[in-house]
Copies of this chain bind each other. A is one copy, B any other.
C-alpha cells in the first residue's frame, strides 16, 4: 500500500457543477462572453496536466525545505522557479486579464478554476501568482492610465508578481491603526516609509519584479480608516532597487513554500491608486476577490484530503465489518466497511463538493458583477457581497474539519509527515486567519451584509431557497428547505432587532450566525445538486451525489440548529464576565 499522496484533478465533478448545476454556458451568453464549454474543457484539461505533472511533485518537498532568507533575498524551494517560468510561458496568468494590456479577457470564473486546480496540487506555490490577480484588479479598477500602462502588462503576463501590504506589527484586523507614511514628492509620486508584516509572496526569486500594493497614510490624513490611501510600490524601479527590504521571513505552522515576509519600506517611491484617503475602498477590490480565493484554498485542501483518505480507506485492512467479513480472503476488511470511516469520508465529500459549488456560484456572481448589465449586475453584486464572507468563513472552517477527518482516517500514519496529510491540516489552518479571520467575516456578514442592509441580500437568497423548495415539492428536502428559509430570515431580522437594544448582540451572535448561514447555504446547494443528479440513476457518480445530499441533511444539517440556539442565547453570558473572573490561578 502506497502511503504517498497523489492528486488527480476532479474534472468530472468540476464539469458537473459548471455545466449541469450552474449552467455556465447560459451564464456566459448572458454576460456576452464568448467563453464556451469547449474552451473551458480545454483549459481545465491542460491545467490539470500542468498541475499534476509540474506542481504536485513540489508540494511535499516545498513544505519540507521551505523558503530561505539570506541578507534580504528570499530563495523559494527547489523547482518553484522553474515551474513558475512554465506557468508564465503557458499563458496561465493572463486568462482573465484585460486585453488592452495583453490579457486574454476571459471571465474570472475560468481563472478561479485554474486557481483551484493549481492550488490543489500545490497551494504554497500557487499563492505567488494568486496575489498578482488581486493587485491587477486594484490597478485596473482604480489606477490612472499611466499606472495601468506601467504595471499591468508585466503583471498580467506574470513576468512580475503582486502583493497586498496591509498588516503591521501592531495592526491586523484593525487596519485603521496603521502608520506607514506616504510623503508627497515634487514629481507627483510619494515616498513610502514603514514596516509591513505577514506579506505573502512578499519576496522571492520567481519573477523579475514584485509590485506591492501598500496601504499608507498621507501626512494630513484623518485618523482611522478614513485616512488611508493605496499606493503601488514596486520592488525595482527601472531595474534599480526601490528600497523595499525584506527584513525576515516567518517560520510558521504551514504553507512553508510561500515566503511570508516582513517588508521595510525605506523612502520607497510609490504611486497613488485611486483618490487620496480612499484606500479602503480600493483595498476591498483586492480583498473581496482574495476572500473567494481563500475559500477556494479550503476546497483544494479538502480535495487532496478526500482523495488520500478515500484511497487509504479502500486499501488499509483493519478489523472485520460488524455484519461479517467483506474480504474473507484477506486477513481483515478494508476500513471503508466501518460506519464511522464512512461518516468521515461522507462529511469530507459533503463539505468538499458543497464548498466547491459555493465558490463556483460566487465566481458566477463575480463574472456578472463585472460584465453583466443593469439589474443583473446590481443584484449579482449584492448577492456576491452576501456570499463572500460565507464562502470565506464557512468553507475554510469546514475545510479545517474535513482535512482533520482525512488525517484521522489514516490513524497514526496521518500524524507522520511522510504520509502528506498532516501538511493539509497545517496549511489549512491559515485559511481561517488571513484575508480577514472567521471573526471578521462573521461581523461583515451579520453586521454589514445583513443588518445594515435590512436583510435585502439575504432575502433574495432566501427566495432562491423557496423557489428550489417549490421545484422539489414533495421530495425529501422540500420541507426542510422551507423551514430553513423561514428560520434564516427570522434569525437575521431577530438579531438585527436585538442589536438595536444592545450593540454587542451582533458580535455575540456573529460566528454562530455565519456557521448557521453556511449550513443553510450548503443545504440549498446540496438539494439543488440532488435534483439535477436524481435524473441519472444509472450513473454511480450521480447516485453518489444524491446519497451525499441525503447524508448532509440527515447528519450534518442538525448542527445548524445548535448554532441558531447559541446565536439567540444573547450577549449576556459573554459580556457579563469581568476580567478577573476569567482567571483561575
A-side residues, CB < 8 A to B, are 8, 10-13, 167, 170-174, 176-177, 197-198, 250-254, 310, 314, 317-319, 321-323, 331-332, 336, 338-343, 345-346, 349, 353, 400, 404, 407-408, 411-418, 422, 425-426, 429-430, 432-434, 437-439, 442-443, 502-504, 506-508, 510-512, 540-541, 543-544, 547-548, 550-551, 554-556, 558-559, 561-562, 565-566, 569-571, 573-585
A-B contact pairs, 9 of them (CB 8 A): A174-B332, A322-B503, A338-B507, A340-B439, A343-B574, A346-B573, A412-B434, A544-B584, A551-B574
Is B253 within 8 A of A547, CB to CB?
no
Given contacts A340-B508, A578-B540, contact A416 B252 (CB under 8 A): yes
Is A174 within 8 A of B318, CB to CB?
yes
> Which residue in B426, B543, B571, B576 is a CB contact (below 8 Å) of A581?
B543
Name the B residues within 8 Å of A254 (CB-CB): 415
> Which residue in B250, B340, B573, B580 is a CB contact (below 8 Å) of A550?
B573
A197, B407: Cα distance in complex, Å = 18
Q: Which residue of chain B is the closest to A345 with respect to CB atoms?
A: B582
Q: From residue A111, how far is it (CB to closest CB) to chain B in Å?
A: 22
A355, B370: Cα distance in complex, Å = 51
Given contacts A173-B318, A504-B339, contact A253 B543 (CB under 8 A): no
Is B510 within 8 A of A585, CB to CB?
no
Is A430 within 8 A of B415, CB to CB?
yes
Q: Which residue of chain B is the closest to A542 with respect to CB atoms?
A: B581
Is B322 within 8 A of A540, CB to CB?
no
Q: Which residue of chain B is the closest to A333 with respect to CB atoms?
A: B174
Name the B residues within 8 Å of A559 (CB-CB): 559, 562
> Which residue in B415, B503, B544 is a CB contact (below 8 Å) of A583?
B544
Is B507 within 8 A of A340, CB to CB?
yes
Q: Which residue of chain B is the closest to A349 with respect to CB atoms?
A: B582
Given contacts A343-B508, A504-B339, contact A547 B566 (CB under 8 A): no
Q: Which residue of chain B is the closest to A547 with respect to CB atoms?
A: B577
Is A437 within 8 A of B416, CB to CB?
no
Is B511 within 8 A of A412, CB to CB?
no
